[in-house]
Amino acid sequence: MNIGKPNSSKNIEDLLTYLFNLNRRGIKLGLEHVIDLLNRIGNPHNNFKSIHIAGTNGKGSTCSMIASILINAGYKVGFYSSPHLISFNERIKVNNKAITDVEIASFIEKRKNDIDQLKATFFEATTAMAFDHFSKYNVDIAIIETGLGGRLDSTNVLKPKITGITSISLDHRNLLGNNILSIAKEKGGIIKNKIPLVLYPNQNKIKSVLLNIAKKLNVETFEINCPTKIFYNKRGTFFCYKNYDYNTPLIGEFQAINAVMAITIVKLFDNNISEEVIQNGLSLTNWPGRFQRMSKDLPIYYDVAHNPDSINSVIKYIQIIYKEKPLGLLVMKENKELNLVSNAIKNRFCKLIVTGEKKLGLMDGEKLGKILKMQDVSIYKINKDFNFALNELIDLVKKTNKPALILGSHYIAKPIFDKFGFYN
């Protein structure tokens, strides 16, 4: 397969810089530009089958488990997710192999004029790139995670074989709506006429919104039942579903439910895939930054949780496993609703360190700490420097032998992974 190559490493670097600078165009909800861009490059999204997943929490984990199972079943699987942890390349994969810098640069070189003429955003351009990549590699199925919302998300040009909606909670209210029902309606925008839908067991009022959309579109809906005998520890999560025992290395009760979402979707796609193949796929799932233990010797965990529900869950799980309040290190992006976050973290840590740096794309640590203190959150230390705060947390763990949780953003993944020697 001849994909074409930019003519020098300098040219590749320039093209990658151009791509990342598209972030300056911000977030633009709507399908007009991505439809125009895809049309100019031959509508590659019409050349492969897809499974489309939306939700507030758990959609990445669910997509990752679906992809792992289908790869284990012998399919060639594309996987598009966002944001990335360490490198952009993680967003676009075929059978777990990430798109290369040369492939990224080649796409940009060919399509730069189109991107500029349409004033396409970073996410619009990368969505088109992902679909082009999957088409060129002739994938059997692509697992596509929405970026933001659903109805107006760039990925919503797809005509999927199956759609899925995971846990929905309050997040991005400035873009998706002020209340949970408005957000649910936006997520439900991925539901397509007569395309099967798999639903997470959300609250009844959320479920009602989604079922109403599905009914109008003549959609067969599969509301998953929660698994039984759920047990989780430092090694993973164990559960029973339809009289078969499964386990996943991802930790937490909600990961058992996400796994059932994945199993249901896989069975809808190919009912001949055995429970044994499914279990092997689940066991091979790798989704970093989700309640991930960062040290063999020290009980330090990292989670990208950044909205109230996900933060609440991950704190709950570490307390259940270790039977005590953890130490904490918290960062936040500037646009997060701290009144909601403060309620999720209040009185949940034995000692909480707050930090943040604008150069990492985060709210300044002193500003974050000041706001949280005003909302009666007890803070042990406030640090301007993330690496200094991380070292301070590690020292506290060594002195107290208490578990620790680092949370609040994807943006701190690289310095954390560098510190502990983890590479994706």
What confidence category does residue 177 fall into, taking pLDDT thresholds of 50, 70 and 90? low
DSSP for residue 57: B
Q: Which residue has the tokens 């640090």?
A: 383
What pairs with residue 52 in β-bridges? 144, 163
CB 189 within 8 A of CB 209: no
Q: Which residues contact 218 (CB under 8 A, 6 or more apart)?
A: 193, 194
CB 321 within 8 A of CB 233: yes
Total length of the chain: 424
pLDDT tens-digit readout, 34-52: 999 999 999 999 999 999 9
**Cβ count near 217 (within 10 Å):** 14
pLDDT tens-digit readout, 266-320: 999 999 999 999 999 999 999 999 999 999 999 999 999 988 888 999 999 999 9
What confidence category does residue 27 fall into, taking pLDDT thresholds of 50, 70 and 90? low
Q: How far is CA 153 from CA 117, 150, 162, 175, 187, in A?
A: 20, 5, 17, 11, 9
Strand 141-145 to strand 292-293: parallel, antiparallel, or no bridges (unpaired)? unpaired
Where do runs of H (alpha helix) occur along 323-357?
338-345
- pTM for the model stands at 0.91
What confidence category does residue 3 fall into, taking pLDDT thresholds of 50, 70 and 90? very low
Instruction: Return the pLDDT at 307.
Output: 85
Burial class (CB in 10 A: 0-12, 13-18, 19+), 79: buried
Q: Does 1 have pLDDT greater than 50?
A: no
Q: Does 26 have pLDDT greater than 50?
A: yes
The average confidence (pLDDT) of the chain is 91
Q: Does 24 have pLDDT greater than 90?
A: no
Q: Measured in whole angstroms, how far is the alpha carbon of residue 60 from the centre of its chain?
A: 4
Instruction: Return the pLDDT at 340.
Output: 83
CB 155 within 8 A of CB 125: no
The residue among 182, 189, 185 whose CA lies nearest residue 160 is 189
Instruction: Return the pLDDT at 73.
Output: 98
Q: Does 228 have pLDDT greater than 80?
A: yes
What confidence category does residue 424 fall into, taking pLDDT thresholds of 50, 70 and 90? very low
CB 166 within 8 A of CB 267: no
**Cβ count near 136 (within 10 Å):** 16
Q: Does 7 have pLDDT greater than 60?
A: no
Q: Which amino acid is at 222?
A: F
Signed CA dihedral, 113, 114, 117, 121: sign only = negative
Query: What is the arithmetic mean of pLDDT over 93-115?
Result: 95
C-alpha to C-alpha distance for 223 and 214, rounded to whole angstroms: 12
C-alpha to C-alpha distance for 67 and 62, rounded to whole angstroms: 9
Name the token pair of 397: 């763990």
pLDDT tens-digit readout, 342-386: 999 999 999 999 999 988 889 999 999 999 999 999 999 999 999
Lowest mean pLDDT among 26-35, 73-82, 302-311, 384-393: 26-35
Q: Does 23 have pLDDT greater than 90?
A: no
> Which domains does the chain possess?
9-283 (3.40.1190.10), 292-420 (3.90.190.20)
pLDDT tens-digit readout, 317-349: 999 999 999 999 999 988 667 888 899 999 999
CB 423 within 8 A of CB 342: no
pLDDT over 90, % of the chain = 77
The residue among 395, 278, 384 whose CA lies nearest residue 331 is 384
Run of H or E residues at 334:
none
Instruction: Return the pLDDT at 12.
Output: 79
